[in-house]
Amino acid sequence: MSLSREHAADLSPDTVVVAAGRPERSHDQPVNPPIVLSSTYFGTGALSDGDRGYGRYANPTWDPFEEALAQLEGAELPGLLYASGLAAVSSALSLVRAGGVLVMPTHSYAGSLAMATELAAKGNLELRTVDIADTDAVKSQLAPADGKPADMLWIESPTNPMLGIADVRALTAAAHEAGAIVVTDNTFSTPLVQQPLSLGSDVVLHSVTKYLAGHSDVVLGALVTSKPELRAELLHHRIIHGGIAGPFEAWLALRGLRTLALRIERSQASAAVLAERLGTHPRVESIRFPGLPTDPGHERAKSQMKGFGSILCIQLAGDGTRSGADAADQLVRALRLWLPATSLGGVESLIERRRRHTGEPLSVPDNLVRMSVGIENVEDLWADLEQALKALDR
- The residues that touch ligand PLP, with contacts defined as CB under 6 A, are 84-86, 109, 111-112, 160, 185, 187-188, 207, 209-210, 219, 221
| Of residues 252 and 392, the one with the C-beta less far from ligand PLP | 252
Identify the active-site residue in 22, 82, 109, 139: 109
Identify the active-site residue in 128, 139, 210, 353: 210
The arrangement of strands across the sheet holding 126-130 comes to 80-82, 221-225, 203-207, 181-185, 152-156, 101-105, 126-130
- CA-to-CA distance for 286 and 201, rounded, in angstroms? 32
Q: How far is CA 243 from CA 85, 87, 162, 240, 253, in A?
A: 10, 6, 29, 9, 17
Give the shortest CB-360-to-ligand PLP separation in angstroms: 13
Give the shortest CB-83-to-ligand PLP separation in angstroms: 8
| Of residues 20 and 88, the one with the C-beta less far from ligand PLP | 88
Is residue 306 among the annotated active site residues?
A: no
Is residue 210 among the annotated active site residues?
A: yes
Give the shortest CB-109-to-ligand PLP separation in angstroms: 3
| Of residues 264 and 388, the one with the C-beta less far from ligand PLP | 264
Give the shortest CB-26-to-ligand PLP separation in angstroms: 35
The pairing of beta strand 311-316 with beta strand 284-288 = antiparallel
Identify the active-site residue in 63, 151, 185, 202: 185
| Of residues 112 and 349, the one with the C-beta less far from ligand PLP | 112
Helices (H) and strands (E) in the chain, counts: 13, 12
- CA-to-CA distance for 344 and 349, rounded, in angstroms? 8
| Main-chain dihedrals φ then ψ at residue 125, nearest 5 degrees | -150, 170
Give SS3 for 185: strand
- CA-to-CA distance for 318 and 340, rounded, in angstroms? 20
What is the CB neighbour count within 10 angstroms for residue 27?
A: 4
| Of residues 283 and 304, the one with the C-beta less far from ligand PLP | 304
Residue number of the CB atom closest to ligand PLP: 85
Helix, strand, coil percentages for the chain (3-state, nearest 5): 35, 15, 50
Q: Identify which of 264, 179, 190 has the alpha carbon closest to the alpha carbon of residue 222.
A: 190
| Of residues 213 and 278, the one with the C-beta less far from ligand PLP | 213
Is residue 211 among the annotated active site residues?
A: no
Write out the catalytic residue numbers. 56, 109, 185, 210
